Amino acid sequence: MRQQPVTRQSAYLLKSGQFFTVNSKGKNNQTIYDHAGGWDALYRHTDIFYHACLADPILQPLFGQEQPGHVEKFTAFTAETFGGPDKFSKEMGGFRHLIDAHRGFNITEEQRQRFVDLYMEAADKAGLPTDKPFRDALKSHVDFGSHVAKQNSNARSESELHPLREVPKWNWAPDEEH
C-alpha cells in the first residue's frame, strides 16, 4: 500500500517507499483506527503484544517487569497514529515522553525485528482485520516506529535522535476504498 504525503513538511518517506502523513482518513472517511475496531480492538491487540514481549527472551530485557499503564499508553499512541483520539499527545506526555522513554536502551536489530514480529502475531491473536490494506498499514506503522525507537535508544546526543517530534499519522493509499 502506498502512503501519500499531504505536504513535504508533514510527510516522512519510509524505507519501503511508503509515506505517513498528518492525514489519516481514506476516501470514505474511515480512519485506520475505525477500521481496526477502535479503542477496544487496539487495546486488546496491545495487551496481547505487551505480554508477549514480557515473556520473550529477546525483548524481556528491554521491557523488564510489567509496568502499570503501559498498555493504555501504547494503545493511546497507536490510536492517535491511526486517526483516533489524541489522548497520548494531550494527556500522556506526548512524543517527547516516548523519545525519553527509549533513550539508553540500545535496541539491537534483532530486538527491533522481534518487536515487529510479535506485534504482527498479536494482531492475528487479537482478531484485528486481515485485509491487505490494513495489514500493510499496521506493518509499516510498527516497522517505522521500531526503527525510530532503535535510533533514539542508541542516540548519545539530541542531534543523533530521529527528527520526528510528533505522533505520526498513518493514512490509507488515496486510490483504495476502505
Q: How far is CA 153 from CA 32, 103, 106, 145, 176, in A?
A: 28, 4, 5, 12, 35
Q: List the beta bridge partners of residue 20.
A: 12
pLDDT tens for each residue of 98-114? 777 777 789 999 999 99
Q: Which of 21, 124, 76, 141 is nearest to 149 (CA)?
A: 141
The CA distance from 140 to 106, in Å, is 22
pLDDT tens for each residue of 38-94? 999 999 999 999 999 999 999 999 998 888 888 999 999 999 999 999 998 888 877
Tell me what pLDDT residue 106 has.
Answer: 92
Q: Quick one: which H or E segment has residue 126?
A: helix 109-126
| CB 87, CB 76: distance < 8 Å | yes
Q: Which of 120, 116, 128, 136 is nearest to 1 (CA)?
A: 136
pLDDT tens for each residue of 12-42? 444 444 444 434 444 456 899 999 999 999 9
pTM: 0.81
The CA distance from 175 to 27, in Å, is 8
Amino acid at 38: G
* 11 pLDDT higher than 50: no
The CA distance from 71 to 77, in Å, is 10
Task: Read off the DSSP letter of residue 25.
Answer: B
Residues 6+ apart with CB under 8 A from 51: 66
| CB 21, CB 4: distance < 8 Å | yes
